Structures are given as structure tokens and as C-alpha cells.
A and B are shown apart, each in its own frame.
Chain A
Amino acid sequence: MSRPQTQIEKILSHHSTEAPGRPVEPEDIVEVEVDRLVLLDMAATHPEFMGHLPHRIQHPERIAWVFDHLVPPPTIELATGLAKLRELARRWGIREVFDVGRGGISHPLMAERGWVRPGEILANTDSHTCAAGALGCAGRGVGMLEVMSILCTGKTWFRVGGTVRARLEGKLPRGVYGKDLFLALAGTYGGIPGKNLEFQGPGVAHLAIPTRQVVATMGAEIGAEFVLFPPDDRALEYVRARVPAGETLRPVEADPEAHYEQEWPLALDPLVPLVAEPGRVTRNVKPVQELSHVAIQRAVVGSCANGTLEDLEQVSTILAGRKVHPDVVLTVTPNTSAVFAEASRLGHLETIVRAGGLVTNATCGACFGGHLGVLGDGEVCVTSTTRNFQGRMGSSQARIYLASSATVAASAVTGHLTDPRELLSEAP
């Protein structure tokens, strides 16, 4: 009888090049086969890549190229770079190119297109690749140099970390969302650099897939290597609807007796809307109501974490019949072109625009201080994007508060940090 394994240990063990199926444990270095690889437009900004292109690549059919960080290109250099990337994709036989206007942010896009599958290993340069864990897929951001190595060899390595188990009980109450769930964990339990986070418990079944995606994406902010939800019926139904008929899924669950380094219990029913104060996410979280004195000038909804259709619906529900406060600029970025189109069909975008908000194309955009609304000196921003680090969204003299999209929308209406339940209860 072999040692019982956590979900991530099992996935890594199955993919081991040296001894497939042999159990792995913390501190092991495991070399693995990569099932799918995602390249980004940012490749064009890496001189190491553009100046040392692989002579040939492994498995072009397992590779997608997504233009998401700086689209449409704001500089001549980037526009020129994108043309080179298109040519490279043609030369290498990469057919899955999600060009400007035809894709969106890589993490939600890959899930939407059936590229995120339970039990598989998905690599991407970008740190928020842990988003794939919402569907039980071991997604990991590995950086440009490692992506070059995977292009050449088809393989990568992981240093196995200990695993933490979050046990969820109950249901999220009205006005409280996936971002609040994540902030509750980050605020209570802090960072786990190098370790994995697996979600279990009866509360998981009540979480919709987009909610799980928010939580899994944000796992990067507590330093998690991998964040995994179980491949339950809800996850499998989501994936099957997006995978060509006849392709087999290989979901992996944790062994019942697996060893977890820490247990993080979390009751969902008592949760309230939360906000992370500027600087860091871990142990820096308060109820929104305790910060209602904070005046804001900028409000941002979007990113790989919180640009889902559900986010746009939350924003539209709060903004319906109201106006964005005259001292606030609200920017809303759907996370994929498909979400943009559906939010348009449902009228959410019209509601946002009529309220005085700005809707942008699907891009990482302002979240990483790239373009489409970076912050200026002294500005105070509330955002449902991914990071509140100093200088993250532009000026190092700006202050960033991190919250749910509903909290951002409510704050955009009042001009100060606002618990969205106050506006949800008095729908105009």
C-alpha cells in the first residue's frame, strides 16, 4: 500500500518522467511532461526569447498563443513584436492563436475554450495560471525562460511543496463573493510560499465555477504553488461542455487519508464583504464597513480574477438606475471577448456605460499598470483586480484597495469604500 497522496501530489506523480505513478512527497524535485502550454504577447518584450528562438519546438498542437497583456498594442515596438509572434506561430505550426479581439485574458480564456482539464498539467508564463485549479487542473506560471525550456523539451520540473487543506462549510451569503472568500483566507491564515492549497468540504459544492476561478486565481497572492478544487460534478460538467466529444478526461482526486500540513477551516455563512488595504494581501484585510471613511477617485473591475460575466452582472445590478460618483472614474474590463459579447447581449455593458463607467476590451490592462487606465500620483483606487502592491497599477504614490467587483461598484457610486449590501438592499 503506497503512501496516500494529496490531489497535487497525485497529478505530479502521474506526470513524472522518471517514475510515472511513483508517489511523490514534499522536497522531491519531480520532472514532468507538460500537457498544455500557453504563450503570451509579452513574449515579444523578452529579449532572451526574441534573441534566442528555439530552432524547433515540441508538440505545437499542445500550445496556445494568447495576446492579452497589452492589447491592442499601445506602442510601435509592441505592434511590431506582435507581427513577429504571428509569423513565429505560423512557422512553428501553432494553430491556436488568440489574436487581438478574438480571445481575452489567457486564464479565463483557456478554461472557456476547454484547454483547462482536470488531472492535467498546464504551464503558462503568467503567475495567475493557478486559476486552472478551479477545474482540478494543475496550472502553474513558470516564467518566460521556463516556457522556452518547455518549448524545446516538452518538460518542466516542480519542487514538491507541502499541502494545506481549506475546508469550506456552508454557503456564501448575499453580497459576499469569491473575492471575499479568498480575502478571508488571506487575512486569517496569511501566506504559504512554496506550498499548495487544496479545497475540500461541503461548502465547495455550493460554489459556482466562476467563483472557484476567482479563488484559485487569487491563490497566487498568498504565494501558493498550486491551488486545486476537486473535480466534482459541477467542474466536470463545465469541462465536458467545452471539450470535443470523444476526448477522455482523467480527473484526479486526493486520497482520503492524504497528509495535509495545515488545516484551514472556513465557515462561509458568517462572511462579510472584505477589503485588503494597500501594500499586500496577506494579513492585511478588514471588513469594508470599517473602511467606509476612505474616499476613492478610481474604481476598476476586471483582470483574470474578476472580469467574469458574474462580476459584470454584480456591477450592473448595483449601477442600474444610479450614477458613478462625479469624483470617481470607473473602468470595467470583461475578461474575454465572449464574456464581453454576452454581457452586451444581457444589457450589463449598457447599464455600466449609462451610469458613467468606461468599458474596455478584454485585456490585463490596468491590473499590472500596463495601459488603459494606470493610476496617477496620490490617487486612491478600489479594484477587483489581483494585486494591491505599491506601484502595481501605475504610480508608486497611488494607494490600491482590493475587493469584490460588487464592493468596487458600490464604492464607485458613493465615492468612498462601501459595503455593497447597503446598495443591494435598497435597489432603486
Chain B
Amino acid sequence: MRIAGRAWVVGDDINTDLLYPATCFRLPPAERRWQTLSANRPGWAREVRPGDVLVAGSNFGMGSSRPAADNLRDLGIRLVVADSINGLFFRTAINTGLPILEVPGVSRSVREGSRLEADLTEGWVRTDGRELQGRPLPPFLARILEDGGVLARLAKQGYID
């Protein structure tokens, strides 16, 4: 699975309270995305364009089970690449159909605004003529993404409408 886009770069410890503040629980689903990173990077959500890629530091997605990946997906973020990723966020991203890849050191190697290309199942990213190798996405998980996330898969299997 190959994906490319313009990179945004954020730092370490971007947690789910920053990605999906508690105010989201009281907003209609269509308005929740605008709260993304509103506490630490006000205005950013309005600058994101569909197809952009988010590059982050260590411990990305630390925190709660809230549907924080939805906000990134709904902003049009096509791929998340981070130095290290919280396990629950990783699962939520896969289930929600948001491609995600762990590549140690990536946040220090990508310049914001650069074009970044990645291959999920091979586990690499390329940017500004450099290539970094990360943890390839296992085929079991790549298939969930290919299905379009877990809801689409459950619908395909006849469990839900």
C-alpha cells in the first residue's frame, strides 16, 4: 500500500486529549474535527488539506479510547507516520481506516511542507531524497485498511448494515 502527500510535522506526546478534546463529545459529529490540536496548535485544523500526511514524534496517540483517529480522517489526513505510536491509537486508526506507520526517527527527518511517500506493508518512508525503514504493517492489519476499516469489513461479512 503506497501513499504520498504533503507533510505536517508535530512533536512528541501528542495525546488524545489534544487530538480529540472533551468538547468534541458535546458537538455534532461533523463539527468535531475543527477541535483537533486546538489547544497546542490553534488554527491548524483549518489549514489541513485533504491528502496531507501527519508526521509525529514519540508516543503519538497516547491516552484514551475516544475516536481521536476520526478527527484526523475527517480533516482529510491520508496517513500518520510517527516515531512511536500508542497501541490503542494504532488499533483505532486501523479500525477507522486511517493508514498509520511507525518509523523511528521520522519526526526529525521530515521538513514540514515536504512531500512524503510511504509504503505501509514494506514499512518505509521517503522524503527529500532520503529513505527511512520502520515497522512494516502486517498483512492481517493491511487487509482491514484495504477493506476500508472495521465497519466496512463487518458490513461485508453481514454482521451490520
Which residues from chain A sit less than 8 Å from chain B, CB to CB? 27, 29, 31, 45-48, 52-55, 75, 125-127, 141-146, 148-149, 152-153, 157, 159, 161, 191, 193-194, 220-221, 223, 225, 279-280, 282, 368-370, 374, 387, 389-392, 394, 396
Contacts and interface: CB of A to CB of B under 8 A. Distances in A.
A200 to B, nearest CB: 22
Interface stretch (B43-51, B81-89, B114-122, B124-132): B81-89
Contacts of A126: 64-65
Contacts of A27: 135
Interface of B: 13, 15, 17-18, 21-22, 25-26, 29, 38-40, 58-59, 62-65, 67, 84-88, 90-92, 95-96, 135, 138, 140-141, 149-151, 153-155, 157-161
Contacts of A369: 17, 21-22
Contacts of B85: 193-194
23 contacts: A29-B140, A48-B151, A52-B154, A53-B160, A54-B154, A54-B160, A127-B65, A145-B67, A149-B95, A149-B150, A152-B154, A152-B157, A152-B159, A159-B138, A193-B58, A194-B86, A279-B13, A280-B62, A282-B13, A369-B17, A387-B15, A389-B18, A391-B39
B150 A391 contact: no
B11 to A, nearest CB: 11
A191 B58 contact: yes
Contact of A145 (B135, B138, B149, B155): B149
Question: Which of B29, B92, B95, B135 has the most A CB atoms < 10 Å from its CB?
Answer: B95
B29 A47 contact: yes
A418 B141 CA distance: 48
A193 B59 contact: yes
A194 B82 CA distance: 13
B155 A52 contact: yes
A-B complex: 3 closest residue pairs judged by Cβ atoms: A396-B39, A369-B22, A152-B159
Nearest to B139: A29
Given A55-B159, A152-B159, A193-B58, A146 B17 contact: no
Given A193-B59, A369-B22, A157 B149 contact: no
Nearest to B92: A143
Contacts of A280: 13, 15, 62
A148 B138 contact: no
A46 B150 CA distance: 14
B65 A143 contact: yes
Given A52-B151, A55-B161, 14 more contacts: A52-B160, A145-B96, A145-B150, A149-B154, A159-B90, A191-B84, A194-B84, A220-B63, A370-B22, A387-B15, A387-B63, A389-B18, A389-B63, A396-B40
Nearest to A191: B59
Question: Which of A48, A53, A125, A142 has the most B CB atoms < 10 Å from its CB?
Answer: A48
Nearest to B154: A152
Nearest to A393: B22
Contacts of A143: 65, 67, 88, 91-92, 95
Nearest to B155: A52
A152 B17 contact: no
B84 A193 contact: yes
B59 A282 contact: yes
Contacts of B17: 369, 387, 389-392
A277 to B, nearest CB: 13
Contacts of B138: 29, 159
B26 A75 contact: yes
Contacts of A191: 58-59, 62, 84
A390 B87 contact: no
Contacts of B39: 390-391, 396
Contacts of A48: 67, 151
A146 B94 CA distance: 10
A126 B67 CA distance: 11
Given A52-B151, A54-B159, A152-B159, A142 B13 contact: no
A277 B62 CA distance: 17
A279 B13 CA distance: 9
B86 A223 contact: yes
Given A279-B13, A391-B39, A157 B140 contact: yes
Contacts of A53: 160
Contacts of B92: 143, 145-146
A370 to B, nearest CB: 6
B142 to A, nearest CB: 11
Contacts of A152: 154, 157, 159-160
Given A145-B95, A145-B149, A389-B17, A370 B25 contact: yes
Nearest to A369: B22
Contacts of B22: 368-370, 374, 391-392, 394
